[in-house]
Amino acid sequence: MRKIDRIIVHASATKPDQNITAKNIERWHVEDNGWRAIGYHYVIRRDGTLEKGRDIHEAGAHALGYNANSIGVCLVGGVDKFNSPEQNYTANQYYTLKKLLDVLCVTFPDADIIGHNDVSDKACPVFNVGEWWNGCQKP
C-alpha cells in the first residue's frame, strides 16, 4: 500500500445544473487529457452519491507533485453559470464528504485533510477545507 500523507478535496469545475458522474469525469480525463483513467479516487455527486474512481492503491492524477502520496476526492460543482468559482455544493454532498473523510482519516491517521487550493494556485474546491473540517470522528 502507498504511504498516504494527504487527502485532497477538489471541485469538478462544473455548473450547479450539471449532475455529472465519475464516468463523465473519467471520459474527460482519458479523452481530453490522455490519462489512462480518472484522476480522482472518489467523486461525490450533487445528490450526495459517492462513486469510486481510481483504486486508492494507485497514485491519482489530481494534484501535480502530490499524487504519489495522496487520495483525491472530487465534489461535483464548484463554478457558477459563467464558469466563475462558486461554493455551490449541496447539503447532501457535504454530508457524504464528512462521512468519507471520517473513514479515510481513521484508515490513514497521519494524513492531512486539505483542499486542492492548499497545494496549488487554484480556487478549487472554492472553500477552506481546513476551516470546514472539524476533525476525525469514528464512523
Tell me which residues are annotated as active site: 10, 40, 116, 122, 124
Q: Are 97 and 44 in contact (CB under 8 A)?
A: yes
E runs forming strands in 12-138: 42-44, 50-52, 70-75, 112-115
Distance of alpha carbon 89 from its chain centroid, rounded? 12
- The answer to whether the beta carbons of residues 50 and 75 sit under 8 Å apart is no
DSSP 8-class letter at 2:
P
